[in-house]
Amino acid sequence: MKENIKITFVGAGSMAEAIIAGMLQEELFKPNQITVTNRSNTERLRELHETYKVNVTQNKEEAVQHADILLLAMKPKDVRSGVQEIAPFSNGDQLVISVLAGVSTSTFLQLFEQNMAVVRAMPNTSAAIGKSATALAPGEYATEDQVKIVQELFETVGLVSIVEEEHLHAVTGLSGSGPAYVYYLVEAMEKAANQIGLEQDVAKDLILQTIIGAAEMLKSSPKHPSVLRKEVTSPGGTTEAGIGVLEKYHYQEAMIACITRATERSSELGQTLLETVNVDSKR
């Protein structure tokens, strides 16, 4: 347990809640070590306090000045105004953790106007059930000990990998947005099940267990996915017939294009914000 560390969450959305729940469940922090603040939603703060017994406040000075860690979890579009609200109360020695897609560590240094330790994290929404795939990228002022703290924090909500910051756009496109791709697949499978006459409840159970089983096979087997696929694809059989249709509709090409475009969009959003910050700093 990090008994002497105080952490403040700036932003109180679902990702912040998932991380808070994970930290408390794994007893990495106690509720009285955690403070949550947001811009205006007092009902949301009250909900988090009642559920997790954490400290809540909309007084930014109170939330920030005594914190050892600032975890930024506001919406990316609000990052400039959000950081400007808390920067005057930051002492420069705090560790900043960002879960905001596309916002670079250098952007945070400009917004805080200090050479602070920043670590970017890209979890996904499966953090809510402790199954996130999270990538971390430390900025130039983050120490090994600080990165270790962040790693321990995100291990409470799933698997953690450390990557170079230049790869975070790719992580965003692949695993950050990845759960939505799986949900989209399940939507299609449910529609197909209905079309072929299966009851909704029966179909849902079969679909979910199929996905869970396939994921466990991929995790436990040293075989490449293409080998596992071929092992269940008998010549002239049902699986081959189905795969043939997917190939006809260029399923793999569509998925590759999907992830590539999401990666590009992450880069675009980050560049737009950086340009905005640079323009403002010249005024």
Question: Which pLDDT score is estimated for 278?
Answer: 64
The helix/strand/coil state of 223 is coil
* CATH superfamily membership of 178-261: ProC C-terminal domain-like (1.10.3730.10)
Give the per-residue SS3 of 25-43.
Answer: HCCCCCHHHEEEECCCCHH
CATH 3.40.50.720 domain locations along the chain: 7-168
Edge-to-edge strands of the sheet including 117-122? 55-56, 34-37, 7-10, 69-72, 95-98, 117-122, 132-138, 158-162
Beta strands in the chain (DSSP E): 7-10, 34-37, 55-56, 69-72, 95-98, 117-122, 132-138, 158-162
CATH 1.10.3730.10 domain locations along the chain: 178-261
Q: Which CATH class is domain 7-168?
A: alpha beta
pTM metric for this prediction: 0.87
From first to last of its 283 residues, the chain has per-residue pLDDT tens of: 667 899 999 999 999 999 999 999 999 999 999 999 998 899 999 999 999 999 999 999 999 999 999 999 998 888 889 999 999 999 889 999 999 988 899 999 999 999 999 999 999 989 989 999 999 999 999 999 999 999 999 999 999 999 999 999 999 999 999 999 999 999 999 999 999 999 999 999 999 999 999 999 999 999 999 999 999 999 999 999 999 999 999 999 999 999 999 999 988 888 887 777 665 555 5
